[in-house]
Amino acid sequence: MILNRTLLTYRIVIIPETIGSITYLSRNYQSLQRNVVAGFNVTCIGDERAYSYLPSRQGNTISDRASLHVLKHMQPEFVSYSFLDRGSDERQYCSPGIDLPVCSIMRTKYGRYPEYHTSLDDLSLVTPTGLLGGYEVLTRAIECLEMNELLTSTVLCEPQLGKRGLYPTISTKSSGSEVRDMMNFLAYCDGSSSNLEIAENINVPLWELKEIIDKLKKEGVLKTVEAPPESI
């Protein structure tokens, strides 16, 4: 995924665990509470074993929903943990009084690989393939945030797709599923469900709906009713 323009802004914070997040929050937590839409604690991201997810304290933030959506479609064998299994900086970002929408996306979770906190816990565990896999999952999560707007149909009943150039003129193996996904997506576009929620309802990766959504907006079949808030 390459984003030439983004609706949200992004901040990457590289800090030593625990003391770093506490110091960063002590200086910035009020601004973060006002502005952060979503956040991901990125740790243990470079091995080639499991993919892992650890929720925010609330477990129902946009960060949680985007992470679960991406991992379900990209890495369905991922390991899901409880917030009770926390052990990294999510402890600070989600602590009472701070409570930011931050969850953790990882490869093998800290404490769950045999080399953890031994002399073998070194950079030999980190590989280009492992890092690329972690990068791809995180960028898909960001793409879900960027696409997560509220849309509503401008047409009563199902729209006539042919005259708008939205119905395939040649039948192929994929054309039937494309039309099905388009009509299913439209069926939920009433201005009350976000794109991510609709993608979950129809069980299609949100990023695979991007071309469909862009076409429907271009042809005036869909319009935006609410833009996502900007982050810092």
Residues of the chain with CATH 3.40.630.10: 19-147
Give me the CATH code for the 19-147 domain, please: 3.40.630.10
**Predicted confidence (pLDDT) per residue in 20-47, tens digit:** 999 999 999 999 999 999 999 999 999 9
Residue 231 banded pLDDT, cuts 50, 70, 90: very low
Strands (E) located in 39-99: 39-42, 52-54, 79-80
Residues of the chain with CATH 1.10.10: 150-226
CATH T-level assignment (fold) for domain 150-226: Arc Repressor Mutant, subunit A (1.10.10)
- Claim: this prediction has a pTM higher than 0.85: yes
**Predicted confidence (pLDDT) per residue in 49-76, tens digit:** 999 999 999 999 999 999 999 999 999 9
Burial class from Cβ neighbours inside 10 Å (0-12, 13-18, 19+) for residue 27 reads exposed
Distance CA 81, CA 112 (A): 11
